[in-house]
Amino acid sequence: MASNCSDIVVVGSCMIDFVSYAPRLPLAGETIHGKEFATNFGGKGANQCVAAAKLGGNTALVAKVGNDVWGPKYIENLAQSNVGTKHVKLTDNISTGIAQIIVSDSGENQIVIVAGANTKLGIQDVDDAQETISGSAVLVLQLETSQEVAIRAIQLCRGISILNAAPAVSEYDPQLLRLPTIFCVNEPEASIFTGLSVNNKSEAEKAALELLKKGCNSVLITLGAQGALYINNTDKQFHYAPSPTVRCVDSTGAGDAFIGALAYLLATRTDLAVPKAVELACIAAADSVTRRGTQISFSGPSVFCESK
């Protein structure tokens, strides 16, 4: 079990993933035959926390699950993954969050989530975890829980804060951009937050500069198989991190593997500059897509051995 003092704290979501594997993704209105079905533990918050824990990070999660058949099982799964569960609460009269996922043979996916108990995570829950949050070296948040929860948690943070602003929202409190140390999005999410087309590196650079103008301290845009770009508001220099070439089996959770690894590296490897940490996080993300599933696809610290 993780100790009460956690280097990495994640405030976020828990989901049960119902995953169907099919030759391809269905078109709108189309029914196709799948080949296989699996039920996994997921949710961006929990995924990122487990990813950091598997790498050796001392982690804790602030979250809510339903007091249903899945809630206690989820808390047990977190404990077995060495994630601190003191602030993961069972919630009556609502289901644990669920995600319906379709994965094609090429590794692409479609995901629909029903947030369930995640919608009940509120500011009071964050305040109840104030000591844990303020004592962390790195705080990680997403938008599968409310904007208000993310903002309050960042306000309590004394260390590095990473907002993985996913799912993206077109209407948002400007504090979501101004408060985090690192604002991280993928290309479609960057497009929603900026109103710009983001389909390649050049367009991603323009979006990153626009996000800096909107008040971000630093911007990290993940580019899938092309890696990631990072820029901060101090030197305004673009730093590109490549992604290793791998055979993609299932891309579900790759972004969470990336964020979890980045949080772990920033918390434990203070000798690393952020661009180097981003580069290593890309390695962890690429490694995760070579296996099926989300949390079950994340590796331990040996994933970084080839980069030494």
pLDDT score, position 68: 96
Amino acid letter, residue 276:
K
User: Locate tokens 């569960």: which residue?
Assistant: 85
CATH topology of domain 8-27+35-307: UDP-N-acetylmuramoyl-L-alanine:D-glutamate ligase (3.40.1190)
pLDDT score, position 252: 83
| Residue 234 annotated as binding site | no
- Tell me the two tokens of residue 28: 């709108």
Run means of pLDDT, 10 residues per run, the chain, 308 residues: 69 95 94 94 96 97 97 97 97 96 90 92 97 97 95 98 96 97 98 96 97 98 95 95 92 93 96 96 96 91 74
pLDDT score, position 250: 85
| Residue 226 annotated as binding site | yes
pLDDT score, position 160: 98
Residue 114 has a CB neighbour count (10 Å cut-off) of 14
pLDDT score, position 293: 85
- CA geometry: angle 167, 285, 180, nearest 5 deg: 45
pLDDT score, position 107: 83
Would you please indicate which residues are annotated as catalytic (active-site) residues? 256
User: How far is residue 10's CA from residue 140's CA, in Å, rounded to a whole number?
Assistant: 5
Give strand pairing partners of 183: 163, 219
| Residue 125 annotated as binding site | no
Phi, psi of 102 (to 5 degrees): -115, 130
| Residue 107 annotated as binding site | no
